[in-house]
Amino acid sequence: MRTAEEYKADLYKMKPNVYIRGKRVSRNSTELSGGLNVISKTFELVDHEYFKDLLTAHSHLTGKKINRFTHINQSVEDLMKKQELTRKICRLVGGCIQRCMGCDAINGLAVATYYCDQEHGTDYYRRFVEYVKDFQERDFVAACAQTDVKGDRSKRPHEQDDPDMYVRVVEKRSDGIVVRGAKNCITMAAIADEILVVPTRAMTEKDKDYSVAFAVPADADGIKIVSRTTKLRAPEGFEMPQSEIGDDENLIIFDDVFVPWERVFICEENRYATLAAHLFALFHRHSYTGCKPASTDIMIGFGALISDFNGVYDRPNVRERLVELAATAELVYAAGVASAIFGRKTPVAFIPNEVYANIGRRHAGLNYYRELEILAELSGGLPACLPFAEDYLNPELRPLIEKYIKRRKDVPAEHVYRCLYGISNILCSSLGGVQAVAGVHGGGSPVMEEIMVWRSYDFEKRKEIAKYLVGILKEIPPP
Ligand SMILES: Cc1cc2nc3c(=O)[nH]c(=O)nc-3n(C[C@H](O)[C@H](O)[C@H](O)COP(=O)(O)OP(=O)(O)OC[C@H]3O[C@@H](n4cnc5c(N)ncnc54)[C@H](O)[C@@H]3O)c2cc1C
């Protein structure tokens, strides 16, 4: 397994193909340091007493000890450990650990490539296994690029006016394929070793050119990563772990990128491209049942702390709001647990249950802005109006700011200031804004989960129950 320093050293050696604010930058740009701090936690904590059992696993392919973010889940226990790890580690980095996408992609591709080979006699799974062994050995960090730019949302890939609205194969050669198109909203691509590309939607026979999944180094020729970075900051002398975090959301342009066959995992098999799209989303929604409760944990913590400092922690209105937050967190988490318990084993991976993973992610997505609303309500207006930390640290102003920010007598004013600063980071920062939109759309907008639940939930069985209860059906329906 790599150390955080080795991970960063490998990144800094990559070709500069990242663009930020009009400039092409190296990966050691300070703009990217917030995201690097987040990902680094997944390396730094592998030996930590609280995390070592969660953050490591044994590869079912090599038997070696590996980072869990490179593991293919084999059991209920694996899925539950991934979920628990995600919740616990996300709490330490303000909400999103950013390394789950690549992990969820390799899990989805393992199953899709295996079943594709079973039906078509292709060779994808063997290639994929070789790739994953290397992925695990080199402890790779991967972005998953699923979301195509999509153009006119009412049209399928082959119906678009511009054929490049979905990533597609423009040339098939004896040694590989050439791909063109773009993926947007791709988290942490600027700080990833690898980009794993999977289709974004179901593909029809006519969408064969778009039915493609593959892996490329993030600095492969022809790739441009246009990065929108956000980073929290606190001035010198005002250290707080929350202020070291950030993220990058990226437009990845594939400008005729060559991919050798050993890195191509699906090419033209539209049904298995559809399965890969579906399974990445399923594994990723299961991951959301870990990370979203962590975001809620953070909001509960700040909401409870400021209420405590304000002297109103035990008031019924505060209790009601905190219990509402706890109910959201634990229902989403419970959906993930159920999704693992009712998951299913395939010959190559253990898959979460579809209904529970999707309702869990949907419930989280529908509630994120409500959670922010509760935190804003409990915190009062000051998170939006708090003097800058530089002013708080100014010796002339500090005693005055402390005097006028004071709440309960026994709580130091600095604790109140720090708490409000942390809440401001959630409610009023650009990163907080990104996380809120991610809360709704990341992993698939609620409408996408509704489509999946509509397809996989047994509504007919419920109709039978209704028929039985009113005597239309005379026999007891199958339970
Ligand atoms: C912060 C953040 C991080 C993300 N990280 C990643 C990542 O790492 N990897 C990745 O692949 N993706 C990522 N995503 C993308 C995410 O999965 C998408 O935003 C999501 O799937 C919605 O797609 P879209 O943004 O293109 O929205 P759109 O497709 O534009 O959808 C917007 C809305 O339009 C409506 N709509 C769209 N199409 C239809 C239709 N056919 N019929 C009816 N209504 C429709 C729905 O109401 C939908 O909610 C991220 C997103 C965010 C915000």
Ligand 1 centroid from CA 444, angstroms: 6
pLDDT at 233 > cutoff 90: no
The owner of tokens 């246009």 is 226
Burial of 399 (0-12, 13-18, 19+ CB in 10 A): exposed
Nearest CA to ligand 1 atom 36: 153
Is 391:234 a contact under the CB 8 Å cutoff? no
Instruction: Work out the average pLDDT over 421-433.
Output: 97
Q: Which atom of ligand 1 is nearest to the CA of 187?
A: 8
Is 328:367 a contact under the CB 8 Å cutoff? yes
Q: Which atom of ligand 1 is nearest to the CA of 198?
A: 11
d(CA 262, CA 280): 20
358 CB within 6 A, ligand 1: no
Domain ranges of the chain: 4-270, 277-464
pLDDT at 25 > cutoff 90: yes
Ligand 1 centroid from CA 438, angstroms: 10
For the stretch 113-162, pLDDT in tens is 999 999 999 999 999 999 999 999 999 999 999 999 999 999 999 999 99
What number of residues does the chain have?
Answer: 479
Average pLDDT, the chain: 97
d(CA 260, CA 308): 59
pLDDT value for 397: 98
State whether CATH 3.40.710.10 applies to domain 277-464: no
Q: Helix 4-12 crosses helix 33-44 at what angle (to 10 degrees)?
A: 140
Q: Helix 270-310 crosses helix 76-92 at what angle (to 10 degrees)?
A: 50
For the stretch 369-419, pLDDT in tens is 999 999 999 999 999 999 999 999 999 999 999 999 999 999 999 999 999
Q: Which atom of ligand 1 is nearest to the CA of 247?
A: 1
Q: Which atom of ligand 1 is nearest to the CA of 443?
A: 17
pLDDT value for 237: 85
d(CA 259, CA 179): 8
Nearest CA to ligand 1 atom 12: 147
CB atoms within 10 A of CB 280: 27
Q: What is the DSSP string of 20-78?
A: ETTEEE-TT-GGGHHHHHHHHHHHHGGG-TTTHHHHEEE-TTT--EEEGGGPPP-SHHH
227 CB within 6 A, ligand 1: no
CA 389 to chain centre: 31
Helix residue ranges, H only, 342-412: 354-379, 382-385, 389-393, 398-405
Tokens (6 digits) for 4: 């955080």
pLDDT value for 259: 98
Nearest CA to ligand 1 atom 30: 153
249 CB within 6 A, ligand 1: yes
98 CB within 6 A, ligand 1: no
pLDDT at 338 > cutoff 90: yes
Tokens (6 digits) for 150: 């999509």
pLDDT at 222 > cutoff 90: yes
Nearest CA to ligand 1 atom 25: 441
d(CA 96, CA 250): 16
Tokens (6 digits) for 44: 């730094």
Instruction: Work out the average pLDDT over 195-207.
Output: 98
Residue closest to 179 by CA, chosen among 276, 241, 260, 250: 260
Q: Which atom of ligand 1 is nearest to the CA of 145?
A: 11
Coil vs helix vs strand at 406: coil
CATH architecture entry for 4-270: Beta Barrel (2.40)
pLDDT at 236 > cutoff 90: no
The owner of tokens 């084999």 is 74
Ligand 1 centroid from CA 434, angstroms: 14
Is 88:74 a contact under the CB 8 Å cutoff? no
257 CB within 6 A, ligand 1: no
Ligand 1 centroid from CA 446, angstroms: 9
145 CB within 6 A, ligand 1: yes
pLDDT value for 234: 86
pLDDT at 214 > cutoff 90: yes
d(CA 95, CA 88): 10
Phi first, then psi: give them for residue 65, nearest 5 degrees. Answer: -75, 130
